[in-house]
Structure 1
Amino acid sequence: MDALSDVLQAIRLASNVFKRAELSAPWGLRLQGGALAGFHYVVRGSCWLTVEGTSAPATALSGGDLVLLPLGHAHTLRDRAKSPVRSIEALISEAGGDDVLRSGGGGPTTTLISGCFTFEDRSRNPLLASLPPLIRITSDQGCAVPWLEQNLQFIAAESASPRPGSHVVLTRIADVIFVQALRAFIERLPDDSGGFLRALREPHIGQALGLMHRQLEHPWTVESLASKCGLSRSTFAERFKQTVGEPPLGYLTRLRMERATALLRAGSTLADVAQRTGYSSEAALSHAFRQWAGTPPGAYRKAQQQTRGARPGDSHAHGDAAARTPSNAAK
């Protein structure tokens, strides 16, 4: 498995809203910013996208285009620059339980497929933190990107004629679309791009990232990682920090703590967590976890169990909140 696949596997997301919109000119939609990441696929027609909080000009979109807004910026979609704008929340409220949103003045129609996601503890994922406000995936020289286009067309067809189970199907395929869009974006980055995205494509550092993600329980040292990647210790350490943004062992510790919190939330024993995260004993795990999270791992696990017991119907929401607790405590 490559480093990108390893990092993508660490992204846990859930589709919250998934709608098809039939919009006749003149029309305009505004989506408020927040913790949600969103995507829009233009099934047919055209529109202009403006992302708030950035200096980028309005982006022209046409049929077959896909845009991803991974950082949750507020943005506006409309057929023309001065068309009136309505909030997406108002349209969803008017639609009631209907999965199709309709708005506009009766002119030429633009059809959009839109989705929103939440991430589990997005602040600690280096890939998400390195993404730009807007990712646009367009066709290659007039031809659609085959592997992406097939799934997008499936979404368009499924949303146009909902059947029993359609919501589950669309949610699952939307997750695939998100990962495919990220992969397409990273693959098209220029060679001189920097940051964590570049690290995934850099052979030596990408190999090290893959080793750490795949073999988290291994007793890695800077020397052993450098040896595996065919670099000297000093060259590897310098290049890793320059591209990833933190030292190799700092990155490794963060990975182990994120895995530990997930295992503790699931009720794993301290011995099991220690073994699966590369610590030689429960005591070693407890010391590292307390330094990172500000609380002993046993107390953290007990708190999560009590939370789930108090509100069993809201375990997923509490799990997301719990995942953010260690990073907040560490601050």
Structure 2
Amino acid sequence: MRDNEWLLENLRVESSVFHIGKYCGSWQGSTAGQGKSSYHIVMDGDCWLHAEHDPEPIALNRGDMVFIFQDCPFVLSNHREKDAALRAPGKKMQPLHFHDRSSTALVCGFFTFHSVISHMILSFLPHKIIIRKREDEFEAVRKITEVIHHEAAKEEMCSHKLISSLAEALLFIGIRQYLHQHPPAAALETAKNMPEFLNLIATILLFPAREWTIPKMADAMAMSRSWFIQRFSQVSAVPPAEMVCQLRMSLACRYIEQGKTLQQTAEMVGYQSIAAFNRAFRRIIGVTPGKYRGR
């Protein structure tokens, strides 16, 4: 089984519907501040996504969807200019049958991720993934969104459970596409081959800046130092310190993609020296952080 498929097989997620309806006139809407990952599907019309990490607004059209994995500030709005979007009123949604040619119909909801592996997957994902209806390879997406549109149009009679399940299917497609294009291979292979060390790996990914010495990793596993080294060497092709470095550099790639400075990225993954961080990054990733940013 390929790494991506292994991850998806172990992804445990539960979705829910937050609201279904239309925004009209000048408006803004957001689920930020809820402490959850969210999804937003444009059923009709169009709008603009203004997110904290993006220097420019992103256009979303009918059939497009965005998955936001981190609870970062963002708004959806009919306004392209960010200032206008932030000034727009947060209106109550109108029902889907409400007639207004300039309206935007949305289905929005939340994802809750369960299991250690699910949170590991989240650590490798960007803050958002966008799927475009117009992309030829996503014929399945078009069909799924059409079913969601058909079900949502029933309004009071619609099944939130069905819509939630279909949203989960779209999430799987989006994550699979992203991991196919951005495979964090070394770190995923480490996790795949070491199921008994998953909790340790997840903790390292959650707190990469900690000083992960062998004694501290052994303590996290409730093992003696000698038994930890012996057991680790039996299941891993790399030593513990190398595994930590691989995991840190996989996270560093994500932080750089999010627009963090090299200094910020280095500190976030446990390096006080930019020179040491640059050497580790180049050894693991194959290029310097600066060249990686310029890709």
* TM-score grouping bracket, smaller chain normalisation: 0.5 to 0.7
Residue 119 (structure 2) aligned to one of 122, 125, 139: 125
Mapped to 2, the partners of 1:74 and 1:34 lie a distance apart of 10
Q: Conserved in 2, the CA contact under 8 Å of 1:14 and 1:118?
A: yes
| Gap change, CA 1:76 and 1:144, over 3 Å in 2 | farther
Deviation at 1:56, TM superposition (A): 2.9
CA 1:124–1:171 in structure 2 vs 1: closer, same or farther (change >3 Å)? closer
1:41 aligned counterpart, secondary structure: strand
The offset of 1:163, in angstroms, is 7.7
Gaps of 5+ in 2: 199-227, 250-295
SS at match of 1:31: coil
Amino acid of the structure 2 residue aligned with 1:131: L
The aligned amino acid for 2:67 is L
Equivalent residue, structure 2, for 1:283 = none
- The alignment-based identity, stated in percent, is 20
Aligned to 1:225: 235
> Would the aligned equivalents of 1:32 and 1:75 in 2 still touch at CA under 8 Å?
yes
Supply the AA of the counterpart residue of 2:148.
I
8 Å CA contact 1:37–1:70 kept in 2: the answer is: yes
TM-score, with structure 1 as normaliser: 0.53
What amino acid is the match of 1:76? V
Partner of 2:194: 212
Of 124-133 and 43-52, deviating more is 124-133
The count of aligned residue pairs is 215
Does residue 154 (structure 1) correspond to residue 147 (structure 2)? The answer is yes
Alignment partners' CA distance in 1, 2:30 and 2:62: 20
Does residue 29 of the first structure (1) align with residue 39 of the second (2)? no
TM-score by length of 2: 0.59
Is residue 2:184 matched to residue 1:198?
A: yes
Residues 164, 5 of structure 1: alpha-carbon distance in 2 compared, 3 angstrom cutoff: farther
Range with greater deviation from structure 2 (154-163 or 8-17): 8-17
Give CA deviations for 1:83-113 in whole Å, capped at 9, x if unaligned. Answer: 55344xx637xx7xxxx47999x55222222
Over alpha carbons, which structure has the higher Rg? 1
Match of residue 50 from structure 2: 50
Cα distance per residue 1:149-203 (max 9 Å; x no partner)? 22222111111125867122112222222222111222233xxxxxxx512xx5x
**Distance in 1 of aligned mates of 2:146 and 2:109:** 15
For the residues of structure 2 that align with 1:86 and 1:169, how far apart are their CA atoms?
31
Relative distance call for 1:215 and 1:66 in structure 2 (3 A) is same
Aligned-pair CA distance for 1:126 = 2.0
Give the Cα separation in 1 of the matches to 2:107 and 2:158: 18
1:85 aligned residue: 88
Structure 1 residue 74: Cα displacement: 2.6
Which consecutive unaligned segments of at least 5 residues does structure 1 have? Answer: 190-196, 227-232, 247-331
Alpha-carbon distance in structure 2 between the residues aligned to 1:103 and 1:56? 34
Further displaced range: 11-20 or 116-125: 116-125
User: Residue 136 of structure 2 aligns to a residue in which SS?
Assistant: coil
| 1:212-262, Cα deviation, whole Å (9 max, x unpaired) | 34998xx99444435xxxxxx44x76664333339xxxxxxxxxxxxxxxx
CA distance, structure 1, for counterparts of residue 5 and residue 137 of structure 2 = 23
**SS in structure 1 of the partner of residue 70 of structure 2:** coil
Counterpart in the other structure of 1:243: 246
C-alpha contact (below 8 Å) 2:51/2:74 kept by paired residues: yes
- Report the Cα offset of residue 129 of structure 1: 2.1
- Alpha-carbon distance in structure 2 between the residues aligned to 1:241 and 1:33: 32
Q: Tell me the C-alpha RMSD between the 2 structures.
A: 3.7
Instruction: Report the counterpart of residue 39 of structure 1 in structure 2.
Output: 39
Tell me how far apart the structure 2 counterparts of residues 151 and 18 of structure 1 sit (CA, whole Å): 19
Which secondary structure does the structure 2 equivalent of 1:57 belong to?
A: coil
Moved over 6 A (4+): 101-104, 121-124
The residue matched to 1:125 in structure 2 has which SS? Answer: helix
For 2:195 and 2:188, locate their aligned partners in 1 and report how far apart those are by CA, in whole Å.
11
Q: Which string of whole-angstrom CA distances, capped at 9 and with x for unpartnered residues, describes residues 108-151 of structure 1?
A: 222222121233478982221232222112256x5361222222
Separation in 1, partners of 2:42, 2:16: 20
